[in-house]
């Protein structure tokens, strides 16, 4: 228990360590306020990105240094801010005070809690803008981030330290993929570190964010997740800063040796917010009225996702989300972000409407890390999957002409249909890797060819339960990360045959 | 009106280092409203740049006389204005254009309070 003497001793120690130095301030005067962007004169010594404080107690960040004036974006309310008010520099760059207490909390880009719980005690100031680690500090991506989504883990695998873009029209399940990935991190794989998740909501509706928070709470994913919110009703400055705040928090945990997954939902709205700020700042408008440095806006953010090679340091995996209009991935912002990231997961409306969910277009999706981010077991079963699906899709187009087909082609067609069927997956139902390997092995070895198409999903569900109750050892071997050996293949063969007998009644 | 023209107007508004009211009035009558606002703001800025305000808790002629030479050496070609500010308690504050140097008892006490309140990092 802390006594009065302890408090006095601490204060005395502090006062003795105090060094008196005169104060030097750089001040200015507010000239105008345009939509949350303040123009002030004076402030001749201010630095770019420096925090300044106003007379009403609010703070702002300097974004433009003109010849005689300075443009500042407000980080608080505009109330009581008038022309002629004094502005002072602080000598500090914009940063967020982070600690472990952020886990499980919902905050705004300044680190203030939004979930009604007590204030968070910070430990270390992390700057929002930071230079990405250099080439020498990086390590190749070789550890998987398991999303629990069969189509992604099999054909578009994501590794720790990778940037994988999720792109598609509105309402196709982009956020659903991100949330399923976060939920799947609840299970810590043997031999791998836990993954801390950060979900950055930019320009979303508050109701949507509330639903996401509730879902994460229900699925027990909140204890290892931090939610940074700059919703649609927040000023453009908050929406602009939110991804950088999320990244600063991620870097705090990465430097402590943790692996972090960060979802930016979505960067299209982030670009819109930046466009709004830039137009108010009178910066020259370029293509689609975006400022000239809109590429740099996202590249400097996404380059901070890294796998460090230093001992005791972790990684940041980024899942940026981009919303397209009418499936146009050749628009300005989508092409920018595609060229920055290490792959994309492309969601298509036609697939969604025909019941294939997640609506991933495997042909247009890619992971540039590829097999390096897959375990031996998954690689051995799913290695040829993309090729087989591509062949099936070509054959299916050809079969529409109604000509007579040979037996082998028909078999391939039926197998392709069953492969697509097993890749369908309900939302919030991530599947463990061992079960994924089991079902993919089953379909690629032709064991589902005699199961009617409409029974495939039921087969899969019951087969998973069967393996979990009767073949725990087999599942352990499949999930061990090693390549499938002949004994495992034989055990799988027997398990499938036994189950099919039960299934058929 | 361009920036360099505004600077020229400011330059001709001063005679023998002092603001010439007649010239200012003449210029003001000829300017449009928008340019007039800029001209007034520019004059204020120019005045701030050529003036140093020394704030003291109490002003005495003896103190001013004693330190005038030193101040003129530190701030050459600047007009020095003295202002009373009892809130400083002790010490001095120099204000020049947009820079403020404060070495006062009030500032020291505020810094001690902030320093004592900092958590251990």
Same domain, A161 and A280: yes
Q: If you average pLDDT over every residue of chain A, what do you get?
A: 91
Of A93-102, A217-226, B63-72, give the lowest mean pLDDT range.
B63-72
Within A66-101, strands assigned E span 69-74, 86-93, 95-98
Q: Out of B45, B97, B116, name the one closest to residue A14 (CB).
A: B116
- Interface of B to A at Cβ within 8 Å reads 3, 41, 45, 97-103, 107-108, 111-112, 115-116, 118-119, 121
Give residue for tokens 């087909």.
A405
**Domain shared by A322 and A470, yes or no:** no
Pair type for strands A23-34 and B99-104: antiparallel
The domain boundary residue, chosen from A35, A57, A92: A92
Q: Write out the two tokens for A101.
A: 């207490």
Confidence of residue A293 (pLDDT cuts 50, 70, 90): very high
A469-499: pLDDT as tens digits = 999 999 988 988 888 889 999 999 999 999 9
CB contact under 8 A, B3 and A124: no
Q: How many CB pairs under 8 A join A and B?
A: 53
Q: Which of A232-241, A302-311, A380-389 has the lowest mean pLDDT?
A: A380-389
From residue A362, give the alpha-carbon distance in Å to each of A146, A295, A385, A420: 18, 26, 10, 11
CA-CA-CA-CA torsion sign (A407, A412, A415, A420): negative
| Residues A142 and A257 reside in one and the same domain | yes
Provide the shortest C-alpha distance from residue A15 to chain B (in Å).
6
Is A50 in contact with A110 (CB distance < 8 Å)?
no
pLDDT number for residue A24: 85
Q: What pLDDT score does B121 carry?
A: 43
In the block, tokens 């920036």 appear at B3
Distance CA A69, CA A31 (A): 9
| pLDDT(A113) > 80 | yes
Average pLDDT over residues A331-358: 95
User: Are the C-beta atoms of A167 and A175 separated by less than 8 Å?
Assistant: no
| Residue A212 and residue A106 share a domain | yes
Residue A18 lies in a domain: no
- Number of independent structural domains in chain A: 3
What single string gives the DSSP state of each residue in A429-476?
----HHHHHHHHHHHHTTTTTTS-GGGHHHHHHHHHHHHHHH-HHHHH
Instruction: State how far the Cα of B105 lies from the Cα of B40, in Å rounded to an integer.
Output: 36
Q: Inter-chain contact B102–A22, Cβ cutoff 8 Å? A: yes
Location of structure tokens 């982030």: A270
In this model, does residue B120 exceed pLDDT 70?
Answer: no
CATH number of the structural domain spanning residue A397: 1.20.150.20
Among A363, A432, A371, smallest CA distance to A147 is for A432
B19-58 pLDDT, tens digit each: 888 999 999 899 899 889 889 988 888 888 888 999 988 8
b/e per residue A362-379 (b: at least 16 CB within 10 A): beebbbebbebbbbebbb
Cα(A194)–Cα(A231) distance, rounded to whole angstroms?
A: 29
Domain boundaries, chain B: 3-49, 51-117
On whether residue A4 sits in a domain, the answer given is no
CATH number at residue A326: 3.40.50.300
The answer to whether A27 contacts B98, with C-beta atoms less than 8 Å apart, is: yes
What distance in Å separates residue A279's CA from the closest CA in chain B?
22
Range B51-117 classified under CATH 2.60.40? no
Question: For residues A318 and A344, what is the distance between their CA atoms, to the nearest angstrom?
Answer: 12
Kindly determine whether residue A24 and residue B112, on different chains, have CB atoms separated by under 8 Å.
Answer: no
Highest mean pLDDT out of A434-448, B17-31, B79-93: A434-448
Residues of A with CB under 8 A from a CB of B: 11, 14-15, 17-18, 20-28, 41-45, 67, 121, 123-124
Residue with tokens 């071997």: A477
Domain that holds residue A387: 380-503
Is A42 within a domain? yes
- Cα–Cα dist A25/A145, whole Å: 49
Say what the pLDDT of residue A278 is: 94
Contact yes or no for A264/A246 (Cβ under 8 A): yes
Q: Which of A299-303, A330-334, A467-471, B44-48 has the lowest mean pLDDT?
A: B44-48
Given a contact cutoff of 8 angstroms between Cβ atoms, the answer to whether A75 and A58 are in contact is yes
Are A415 and A356 part of one and the same domain? Answer: no
For residue A87, the chain B residue with the least C-alpha distance is B98
Choose the final residue of a domain: A347, A374, A401. Answer: A374
Instruction: Calculate mean pLDDT across residues A413-418.
Output: 90
The domain boundary residue, chosen from A50, A76, A92: A92
Q: Tell me: do A327 and A415 sit in the same domain.
A: no
Answer whether A61's CB lies under 8 Å from A51's CB.
Answer: yes
Domain-located, residue A32: yes
Note the pLDDT tens digit of each residue in A4-25: 888 788 777 767 766 666 788 8
Residues A242, A75: contact at Cβ < 8 Å?
Answer: no
Query: Does the pLDDT at position B13 exceed 60?
Result: yes
Q: Taking residues A86-99, report their average pLDDT.
A: 93
Q: Among the options A86, A368, A386, A470, which is catalytic?
A: A368
Asked if A28 and A86 touch (Cβ cutoff 8 Å), the reply is yes
Q: Note the residue count of chain A.
A: 505
- Both A187 and A127 in one domain: the answer is yes
H/E run at residue A226? strand A225-230
Is A187 found in the same domain as A111? yes
A229 and A270, same domain (yes or no): yes
Other Cβ atoms within 10 Å of A473 Cβ, number: 9
Q: What are phi and psi of A21, to 5 degrees?
A: -140, 145
Task: With respect to residue A17, please indicate whether it lies within any of the assigned structural domains.
Answer: no
Where do the H-state alpha helices sit in A228-331?
236-255, 267-280, 294-302
Q: Please name the residue of chain A whose CA is at the shortest distance from the CA of residue B109.
A: A20
Asked if residue A403 belongs to a domain, the reply is yes
Per-residue pLDDT of A123-180, as tens digits, reads 999 999 999 999 999 999 989 999 999 999 999 999 999 999 999 999 999 999 999 9
Check pLDDT > 70 for residue A403: no
- At A74, which CATH number? 2.40.30.20
Which own/partner contact pairs does A421-425 have at CB distance under 8 Å and 24+ positions apart? A421/A453, A421/A456, A421/A457, A422/A150, A422/A448, A422/A456, A422/A460, A423/A150, A423/A151, A423/A154, A423/A356, A423/A360, A424/A355, A424/A356, A424/A357, A424/A457, A425/A149, A425/A150, A425/A151, A425/A357, A425/A358
Whether residues A58 and A140 fall in one domain: no
What is the least distance, in Å, from the CA of B108 to any CA of chain A? 7
B116 contacts on A by Cβ (under 8 Å): 11, 14-15, 18
d(C-alpha A261, C-alpha B28), whole Å: 62
* A172 and A259 both lie in a single domain: yes
Can you tell me whether residue A243 is helix, strand or coil?
Answer: helix
Average the pLDDT over A75-101 and give the result: 90
pLDDT at A319 > cutoff 70 = yes
Cβ within 8 Å of residue A211, ≥6 positions away: none
| Same-domain pairing of A114 and A86 | no
The yes-or-no answer on residue A368 being catalytic is: yes
> Does some domain include residue A38?
yes
SS3 A138: strand
Checking ipTM against 0.85, whether it exceeds it is no
Q: In this prediction, what percent of chain A has a pLDDT beyond 90? A: 72
Asked if residue A416 belongs to a domain, the reply is yes
Closest alpha carbon within chain B to A24: B101
Task: Give A169-227 pLDDT, tens digit per residue.
Answer: 999 999 999 999 999 999 877 677 899 999 999 999 999 999 999 999 999 999 999 99
Report the Cα A489 to chain-centroid distance in Å.
35
């Amino acid at each position: 228990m802390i006594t009065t003497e302890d408090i006095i001793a601490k204060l005395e120690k502090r006062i003795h360590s105090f060094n008196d130095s005169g104060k030097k301030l750089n001040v200015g005067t507010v000239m105008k306020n345009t939509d949350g962007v303040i123009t002030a004169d004076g402030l001749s010594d201010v630095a770019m990105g420096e925090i300044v404080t106003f007379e009403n107690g609010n703070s702002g960040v300097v974004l433009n240094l003109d010849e005689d004036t300075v443009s500042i974006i407000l980080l608080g309310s505009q109330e009581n801010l008038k022309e002629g008010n004094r502005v002072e520099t602080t000598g500090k760059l914009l940063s967020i005070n982070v600690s472990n207490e952020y886990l499980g909390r919902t905050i705004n880009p300044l680190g203030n809690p939004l979930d009604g719980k007590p204030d968070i005690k910070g430990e270390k100031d992390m700057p929002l803008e930071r230079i990405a680690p250099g080439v020498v500090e990086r390590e190749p991506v070789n550890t998987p981030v398991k999303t629990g989504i069969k189509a992604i883990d099999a054909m578009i695998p994501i590794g720790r330290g990778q940037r994988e873009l999720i792109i598609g029209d509105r309402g196709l399940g982009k956020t659903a993929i991100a949330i399923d990935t976060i939920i799947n991190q609840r299970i810590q794989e043997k031999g791998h570190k836990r993954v801390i998740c950060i979900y950055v909501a930019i320009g979303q509706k508050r109701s949507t964010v509330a639903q996401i928070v509730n879902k994460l709470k229900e699925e027990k994913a909140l204890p290892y997740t931090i939610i940074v919110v700059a919703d649609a009703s927040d000023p453009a400055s908050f929406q602009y800063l939110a991804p950088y705040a999320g990244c600063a928090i991620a870097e705090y945990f990465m430097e402590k040796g943790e692996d972090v997954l960060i979802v930016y939902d979505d960067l299209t709205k982030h670009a819109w917010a930046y466009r709004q700020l830039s137009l108010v700042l009178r910066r020259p408008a370029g293509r689609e009225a975006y400022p000239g440095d809109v590429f740099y806006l996202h590249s400097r953010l996404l380059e901070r996702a890294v796998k460090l090679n230093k001992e005791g340091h972790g990684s940041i995996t980024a899942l940026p989300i981009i919303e397209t209009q009418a499936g146009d991935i050749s628009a300005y912002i989508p092409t920018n972000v595609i060229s920055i990231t290490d792959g994309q997961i492309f969601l298509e409306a036609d697939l969604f409407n025909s019941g294939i969910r997640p609506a991933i277009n495997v042909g247009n999706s890619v992971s540039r890390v590829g097999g390096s981010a897959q375990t031996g077991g998954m690689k051995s079963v799913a290695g040829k999957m993309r090729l087989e699906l591509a062949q099936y899709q070509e054959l299916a187009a050809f079969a529409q002409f109604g000509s007579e087909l040979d037996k082998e082609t028909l078999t391939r067609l039926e197998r392709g249909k069953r492969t697509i069927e097993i890749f369908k997956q309900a939302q919030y139902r991530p599947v463990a890797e061992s079960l994924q390997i089991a079902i993919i092995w089953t379909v690629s070895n032709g064991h589902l060819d005699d199961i009617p198409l409409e029974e495939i999903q039921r087969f899969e569900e019951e087969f998973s339960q069967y393996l979990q109750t009767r073949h725990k050892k087999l599942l352990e071997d499949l999930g061990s990360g090693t390549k499938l050996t002949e004994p495992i293949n034989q055990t799988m063969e027997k398990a499938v045959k036994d189950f099919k007998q039960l299934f058929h009644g | 009106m361009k920036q360099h023209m505004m600077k020229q107007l400011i330059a001709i508004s001063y005679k023998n280092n002092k603001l010439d009211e007649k010239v200012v009035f003449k210029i003001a009558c000829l300017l449009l409203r928008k340019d007039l606002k800029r001209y007034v703001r520019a004059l204020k800025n120019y005045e701030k740049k050529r003036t140093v305000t020394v704030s003291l808790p109490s002003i005495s002629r003896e103190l001013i006389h004693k330190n005038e030479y030193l101040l003129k050496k530190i701030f050459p070609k600047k007009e020095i204005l003295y202002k009373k500010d009892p809130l400083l308690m002790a010490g001095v504050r120099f204000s020049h254009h947009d820079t403020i140097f404060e070495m006062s008892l009030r500032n020291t006490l505020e810094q001690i309070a902030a320093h004592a309140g900092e958590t251990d990092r």
